[in-house]
Amino acid sequence: MRVKICGITKLDQGMAIARLGAQALGFICVPASPRYVSPQTIRLIAIELPENVDRIGVFANTTIENICQVAIESNLSGVQLHGDETAEYCGRLREFLPGIEIIKALRVKTPETLAAAAIYALRVDTLLLDAYHPAQLGGTGKTIDWMMLAEFKPPCPWLLAGGLTPENVLNAIDSARGNNFSGVDLSSGVEIAPGDKDLTKVAQLFDRLKALK
């Protein structure tokens, strides 16, 4: 079970969350976000992390040139596209970043969103399902209708996000099991405020996930 904690802004919290068991940390590279961190800050955190912890930069509706520059400056091991990027865009980005994981986030509003995932699955390494919000790209605290996940069968690994908390994560995972499901992504559900993680909640999360072993 891959666990990604997104919206990391502080070195001490990033290190603590990695020690608790997170396999991936997400860093928001969208300047308008309250969880935004600069490439310099990301790099300071990234170089202190164990090598087996993935460092994912989250971008939305920006240029390939910007993503490549930040990825290099920040020492990222992965890039997450959380905007309106097309499958063709994902394919072009893959050409520029051949050794980096590319994750495409889909904000799920209707079952038709899930049907569109197939075209992206051919261009990226991993898909991520997040809840739809008309004004926010992520970290909304809203959940997906998990009943829709029963027929979601992409040909690549995928992560479930959207309003996940220590309290509901096991129910969410139970709805998503199978069909290349590979893990969960949490942000607001383990926060005190945007970008300020609640380490007690993170510890509770990993305690709950022990029930899966």
Beta bridge partners of 115: none
The per-residue pLDDT of the chain, averaged, comes to: 92
Beta-carbon contacts of 85 under 8 Å, excluding residues fewer than 6 positions away, are 61, 104
> In this structure, what DSSP letter does residue 126 have?
E
In CATH, which superfamily holds the domain spanning 2-212? Answer: Aldolase class I (3.20.20.70)
Average pLDDT over residues 34-54: 96
pLDDT at 105 over 90: yes
Q: List pLDDT tens digits, range 172-211.
A: 999 887 778 999 999 999 999 999 999 999 999 999 999 8
- The answer to whether 106 and 113 have CB atoms below 8 angstroms apart is yes
pTM of the entire structure?
0.93
Average pLDDT over residues 71-95: 96
The dihedral over CA atoms of 189, 86, 56, 131, expressed in degrees to the nearest 10, equals 10
| Integer CA distances (angstroms), 156 to 90, 137, 178, in order | 15, 23, 12
Q: Distance from CA of residue 105 to its chain's centroid? A: 8
Q: In the numeric block, which tokens belong to residue 202? A: 């993170």
pLDDT band at 118 (very low <50, low <70, confident <90, very high): confident
User: First CA to last CA across the chain, in angstroms?
Assistant: 9
pLDDT at 20 over 80: yes
pLDDT at 213 over 70: no
Catalytic residue set: 6, 130
Beta bridge partners of 58: 28, 80
Q: List pLDDT tens digits, range 138-147.
A: 455 678 888 8
Question: Residue ranges per domain, the chain?
Answer: 2-212
pLDDT at 66 over 90: yes
pLDDT the model gives residue 132: 59
pLDDT at 111 over 90: no
> In this structure, what DSSP letter does residue 47 have?
T
